[in-house]
Structure 1
Amino acid sequence: MNGTVNKVILVGHLGDDIKMHYFEGGNCIGRFPLATNETYINKSTGEKINSTEWHNLVVRNKAAEICEKYLSKGDKVYVEGRIKSRQWQDDSGSQKYTTEIQVTEFTFLTLKKESEDSRSQINKPKYDEDDMPKNDLPY
Protein backbone atom coordinates (compact mmCIF):
# COMPACT_ATOMS: atom_id res chain seq x y z
CA MET A 1 0.00 0.00 0.00
CA ASN A 2 1.28 3.47 -0.84
CA GLY A 3 0.10 5.05 2.42
CA THR A 4 -3.00 6.75 1.00
CA VAL A 5 -6.61 5.72 0.52
CA ASN A 6 -9.21 7.06 -1.90
CA LYS A 7 -12.44 5.22 -1.06
CA VAL A 8 -16.02 6.44 -0.94
CA ILE A 9 -19.08 4.58 0.35
CA LEU A 10 -22.51 6.04 -0.42
CA VAL A 11 -26.09 4.91 0.05
CA GLY A 12 -28.55 7.12 -1.77
CA HIS A 13 -31.25 7.55 -4.37
CA LEU A 14 -30.77 8.10 -8.10
CA GLY A 15 -31.66 11.64 -9.12
CA ASP A 16 -32.16 10.60 -12.75
CA ASP A 17 -31.97 7.57 -15.03
CA ILE A 18 -28.55 6.36 -16.19
CA LYS A 19 -27.18 8.35 -19.16
CA MET A 20 -25.14 6.05 -21.38
CA HIS A 21 -22.23 7.05 -23.63
CA TYR A 22 -20.85 4.51 -26.13
CA PHE A 23 -17.37 4.47 -27.66
CA GLU A 24 -15.74 2.70 -30.59
CA GLY A 25 -14.75 -0.85 -29.73
CA GLY A 26 -17.89 -1.51 -27.68
CA ASN A 27 -16.87 0.24 -24.46
CA CYS A 28 -19.32 2.47 -22.63
CA ILE A 29 -19.82 4.54 -19.50
CA GLY A 30 -22.94 5.41 -17.62
CA ARG A 31 -23.41 8.57 -15.57
CA PHE A 32 -26.04 9.39 -12.98
CA PRO A 33 -26.56 11.72 -10.04
CA LEU A 34 -26.96 10.20 -6.57
CA ALA A 35 -28.59 12.06 -3.67
CA THR A 36 -27.64 11.46 -0.05
CA ASN A 37 -29.67 13.09 2.70
CA GLU A 38 -28.83 14.28 6.18
CA THR A 39 -31.23 15.48 8.86
CA TYR A 40 -30.09 17.37 11.93
CA ILE A 41 -31.38 19.83 14.52
CA ASN A 42 -30.08 23.41 14.45
CA LYS A 43 -28.94 23.84 18.08
CA SER A 44 -29.60 27.56 18.21
CA THR A 45 -33.13 27.49 16.73
CA GLY A 46 -34.24 23.91 17.44
CA GLU A 47 -35.31 23.71 13.79
CA LYS A 48 -35.08 20.39 11.97
CA ILE A 49 -32.84 20.79 8.90
CA ASN A 50 -32.90 18.47 5.90
CA SER A 51 -29.83 18.66 3.67
CA THR A 52 -29.23 16.88 0.35
CA GLU A 53 -25.79 16.34 -1.16
CA TRP A 54 -25.53 15.44 -4.86
CA HIS A 55 -22.80 13.14 -6.18
CA ASN A 56 -21.89 12.51 -9.84
CA LEU A 57 -21.39 8.77 -10.36
CA VAL A 58 -19.66 7.01 -13.25
CA VAL A 59 -19.91 3.28 -14.03
CA ARG A 60 -18.14 1.52 -16.88
CA ASN A 61 -18.82 -1.13 -19.48
CA LYS A 62 -20.78 -4.18 -18.23
CA ALA A 63 -21.50 -2.48 -14.89
CA ALA A 64 -22.97 0.52 -16.74
CA GLU A 65 -25.19 -1.76 -18.82
CA ILE A 66 -26.38 -3.59 -15.69
CA CYS A 67 -27.16 -0.31 -13.93
CA GLU A 68 -29.03 1.01 -16.97
CA LYS A 69 -31.11 -2.18 -17.12
CA TYR A 70 -32.04 -2.42 -13.44
CA LEU A 71 -31.90 1.12 -11.98
CA SER A 72 -34.10 4.15 -12.56
CA LYS A 73 -34.69 7.54 -11.00
CA GLY A 74 -35.59 7.23 -7.32
CA ASP A 75 -34.09 3.77 -6.79
CA LYS A 76 -31.85 3.26 -3.77
CA VAL A 77 -28.33 1.90 -4.26
CA TYR A 78 -25.19 1.20 -2.22
CA VAL A 79 -21.97 2.15 -4.02
CA GLU A 80 -18.27 2.06 -3.33
CA GLY A 81 -15.77 3.90 -5.45
CA ARG A 82 -12.99 6.44 -5.82
CA ILE A 83 -13.14 10.23 -6.03
CA LYS A 84 -11.83 11.53 -9.35
CA SER A 85 -11.58 15.21 -10.33
CA ARG A 86 -11.15 16.33 -13.91
CA GLN A 87 -11.12 19.51 -15.94
CA TRP A 88 -11.78 20.46 -19.56
CA GLN A 89 -12.43 23.45 -21.77
CA ASP A 90 -15.96 24.09 -22.99
CA ASP A 91 -16.82 25.40 -26.46
CA SER A 92 -16.40 29.02 -25.32
CA GLY A 93 -12.89 28.31 -23.97
CA SER A 94 -13.87 28.42 -20.27
CA GLN A 95 -12.23 25.97 -17.89
CA LYS A 96 -14.74 23.56 -16.37
CA TYR A 97 -14.19 21.29 -13.36
CA THR A 98 -16.08 18.34 -11.95
CA THR A 99 -15.65 15.78 -9.22
CA GLU A 100 -17.03 12.30 -9.82
CA ILE A 101 -17.28 9.00 -8.01
CA GLN A 102 -15.86 6.20 -10.14
CA VAL A 103 -17.92 3.25 -8.98
CA THR A 104 -16.02 0.03 -8.24
CA GLU A 105 -18.77 -1.91 -6.43
CA PHE A 106 -22.51 -1.58 -6.11
CA THR A 107 -25.55 -3.30 -4.64
CA PHE A 108 -29.12 -2.53 -5.66
CA LEU A 109 -31.31 -1.82 -2.66
CA THR A 110 -34.44 -1.23 -4.77
CA LEU A 111 -34.96 -2.00 -8.44
CA LYS A 112 -37.16 -0.77 -11.32
CA LYS A 113 -39.06 -4.05 -11.24
CA GLU A 114 -39.76 -3.82 -7.50
CA SER A 115 -41.83 -0.69 -7.90
CA GLU A 116 -43.54 -2.13 -10.99
CA ASP A 117 -44.16 -5.56 -9.44
CA SER A 118 -45.08 -4.37 -5.92
CA ARG A 119 -41.85 -5.46 -4.26
CA SER A 120 -41.75 -8.88 -5.92
CA GLN A 121 -39.22 -11.49 -4.87
CA ILE A 122 -36.23 -10.39 -6.94
CA ASN A 123 -32.72 -11.37 -6.02
CA LYS A 124 -30.83 -8.12 -5.62
CA PRO A 125 -27.55 -8.48 -7.51
CA LYS A 126 -24.27 -7.25 -6.04
CA TYR A 127 -21.37 -6.38 -8.32
CA ASP A 128 -17.80 -5.48 -7.61
CA GLU A 129 -14.70 -4.51 -9.52
CA ASP A 130 -13.86 -8.17 -10.32
CA ASP A 131 -17.08 -8.39 -12.37
CA MET A 132 -16.24 -5.26 -14.34
CA PRO A 133 -13.76 -4.98 -17.20
CA LYS A 134 -10.89 -2.64 -16.37
CA ASN A 135 -10.54 0.00 -19.09
CA ASP A 136 -9.50 3.63 -18.98
CA LEU A 137 -11.99 5.34 -21.23
CA PRO A 138 -11.88 8.90 -22.49
CA TYR A 139 -14.56 11.21 -21.15
Structure 2
Amino acid sequence: MNNVSLIGRLVHDPDLKRTQDGKAYTQFNLAINRYMSQAQKEEKKLEGKSTADFPRIVAFGKTAENCCKYLQKGAMVSVIGKVTTSNYENNAGDVIYTTDITADRVTFLEPFNSEYRKTPLREDAV
Protein backbone atom coordinates (compact mmCIF):
# COMPACT_ATOMS: atom_id res chain seq x y z
CA MET A 1 0.00 0.00 0.00
CA ASN A 2 1.34 3.41 -0.97
CA ASN A 3 0.05 5.81 1.69
CA VAL A 4 1.94 8.69 3.34
CA SER A 5 0.91 10.94 6.21
CA LEU A 6 3.17 13.89 7.13
CA ILE A 7 3.04 16.95 9.38
CA GLY A 8 5.51 19.78 8.96
CA ARG A 9 6.14 23.41 8.15
CA LEU A 10 6.52 24.89 4.68
CA VAL A 11 10.12 25.74 3.83
CA HIS A 12 9.11 28.32 1.21
CA ASP A 13 5.99 29.94 -0.25
CA PRO A 14 4.22 27.72 -2.79
CA ASP A 15 3.94 29.06 -6.35
CA LEU A 16 1.05 28.16 -8.65
CA LYS A 17 2.08 26.77 -12.02
CA ARG A 18 0.20 25.21 -14.93
CA THR A 19 0.88 22.04 -16.90
CA GLN A 20 0.91 22.22 -20.70
CA ASP A 21 -2.77 21.27 -20.71
CA GLY A 22 -3.61 24.02 -18.18
CA LYS A 23 -3.94 21.94 -14.98
CA ALA A 24 -2.90 23.84 -11.83
CA TYR A 25 -0.09 22.44 -9.70
CA THR A 26 2.37 23.52 -7.04
CA GLN A 27 5.47 22.14 -5.38
CA PHE A 28 6.82 22.92 -1.93
CA ASN A 29 9.04 21.32 0.68
CA LEU A 30 8.07 20.51 4.24
CA ALA A 31 10.44 20.61 7.20
CA ILE A 32 9.61 17.52 9.24
CA ASN A 33 11.46 17.02 12.52
CA ARG A 34 12.91 13.57 13.08
CA TYR A 35 11.79 11.79 16.23
CA MET A 36 14.76 11.72 18.63
CA SER A 37 15.65 12.63 22.18
CA GLN A 38 16.93 16.09 23.05
CA ALA A 39 20.40 14.62 23.65
CA GLN A 40 20.38 13.02 20.19
CA LYS A 41 19.29 16.34 18.65
CA GLU A 42 22.13 18.21 20.37
CA GLU A 43 24.63 15.58 19.24
CA LYS A 44 23.45 15.85 15.61
CA LYS A 45 23.66 19.64 15.73
CA LEU A 46 27.22 19.49 17.08
CA GLU A 47 28.12 17.13 14.22
CA GLY A 48 26.56 19.56 11.73
CA LYS A 49 23.91 17.03 10.73
CA SER A 50 20.24 17.74 10.11
CA THR A 51 17.52 16.84 12.60
CA ALA A 52 14.78 17.18 10.00
CA ASP A 53 13.78 15.85 6.59
CA PHE A 54 12.59 18.02 3.70
CA PRO A 55 10.42 16.02 1.28
CA ARG A 56 9.02 17.73 -1.82
CA ILE A 57 5.23 17.84 -1.93
CA VAL A 58 3.34 18.13 -5.23
CA ALA A 59 -0.35 19.12 -5.28
CA PHE A 60 -2.71 19.46 -8.24
CA GLY A 61 -6.00 21.18 -9.08
CA LYS A 62 -7.99 22.97 -6.41
CA THR A 63 -5.68 21.67 -3.69
CA ALA A 64 -2.75 23.43 -5.39
CA GLU A 65 -4.76 26.63 -5.84
CA ASN A 66 -5.77 26.70 -2.15
CA CYS A 67 -2.21 26.00 -1.01
CA CYS A 68 -0.91 28.93 -3.05
CA LYS A 69 -3.69 31.23 -1.93
CA TYR A 70 -3.59 30.51 1.81
CA LEU A 71 -0.17 29.09 2.73
CA GLN A 72 3.17 30.78 3.29
CA LYS A 73 6.60 29.81 4.49
CA GLY A 74 6.41 28.54 8.07
CA ALA A 75 2.77 27.41 7.96
CA MET A 76 2.12 24.03 9.57
CA VAL A 77 0.20 21.53 7.45
CA SER A 78 -0.76 17.89 7.35
CA VAL A 79 -0.30 16.11 4.01
CA ILE A 80 -1.94 12.81 3.09
CA GLY A 81 -0.79 11.35 -0.18
CA LYS A 82 1.43 8.81 -1.89
CA VAL A 83 5.08 8.39 -2.86
CA THR A 84 5.67 8.93 -6.57
CA THR A 85 8.85 8.49 -8.56
CA SER A 86 9.70 9.86 -11.98
CA ASN A 87 12.68 10.77 -14.12
CA TYR A 88 13.71 13.32 -16.71
CA GLU A 89 16.72 14.12 -18.84
CA ASN A 90 18.63 17.28 -17.93
CA ASN A 91 20.43 19.61 -20.35
CA ALA A 92 23.64 17.55 -20.07
CA GLY A 93 21.77 14.43 -21.18
CA ASP A 94 21.85 12.78 -17.75
CA VAL A 95 18.76 10.98 -16.48
CA ILE A 96 17.66 12.47 -13.15
CA TYR A 97 15.43 10.39 -10.87
CA THR A 98 13.07 12.10 -8.43
CA THR A 99 10.95 10.97 -5.50
CA ASP A 100 8.06 13.19 -4.41
CA ILE A 101 4.97 13.04 -2.26
CA THR A 102 1.84 13.62 -4.35
CA ALA A 103 -0.74 15.18 -2.04
CA ASP A 104 -4.28 13.87 -2.06
CA ARG A 105 -5.21 16.15 0.83
CA VAL A 106 -3.51 19.12 2.52
CA THR A 107 -4.94 20.24 5.86
CA PHE A 108 -4.03 23.66 7.26
CA LEU A 109 -3.19 23.16 10.95
CA GLU A 110 -2.98 26.78 12.06
CA PRO A 111 -5.34 29.74 11.86
CA PHE A 112 -4.61 32.20 9.09
CA ASN A 113 -3.54 34.88 11.58
CA SER A 114 -0.80 32.64 13.00
CA GLU A 115 2.39 34.12 14.43
CA TYR A 116 4.25 32.45 11.54
CA ARG A 117 2.34 34.49 8.98
CA LYS A 118 4.63 37.47 8.46
CA THR A 119 2.59 39.15 5.73
CA PRO A 120 -1.11 39.34 4.88
CA LEU A 121 -2.67 36.70 2.63
CA ARG A 122 -1.53 36.93 -0.97
CA GLU A 123 -4.59 37.62 -3.11
CA ASP A 124 -2.50 37.61 -6.29
CA ALA A 125 -1.44 33.96 -5.87
CA VAL A 126 -4.37 32.46 -7.76
> What TM-score, normalized to structure 2?
0.77
Rounded to whole Å, the distance in 2 between the matches of 1:26 and 1:81 is 22
Alpha carbons 1:12, 1:36 under 8 Å: kept:
yes
CA contact (8 A) 1:72 1:112 kept: no
What 5-or-longer segments of structure 2 have no aligned partner?
46-50, 119-126
Contact 1:30 1:59 in 2 (8 A): yes
CA distance change for structure 1 residues 116 and 16 in 2, over 3 Å: closer, same or farther? closer
Distance in 2 between residues matched to 1:47 and 1:12, nearest whole Å: 20
Instruction: Kindly indicate whether the alpha-carbon contact (under 8 Å) linking 1:71 and 1:111 is maintained by their aligned counterparts in 2.
Output: no
Corresponding residue for 2:97? Answer: 97
Q: Does 1:26 align with 2:37?
A: no
List gaps (5 residues or longer) in structure 1.
119-139
Aligned to 1:14: 10
Which structure dedicates a bigger proportion of its chain to strand?
1
Give the CA RMSD over aligned residues: 2.4
**TM-score normalized by the length of structure 1:** 0.70
Percent identical pairs in the alignment equals: 30
**Is 2:74–2:117's contact at 8 Å kept on the other side of the alignment?**
no
Q: Which structure has the bigger radius of gyration?
A: 1
Other structure's SS at 1:114 match: coil
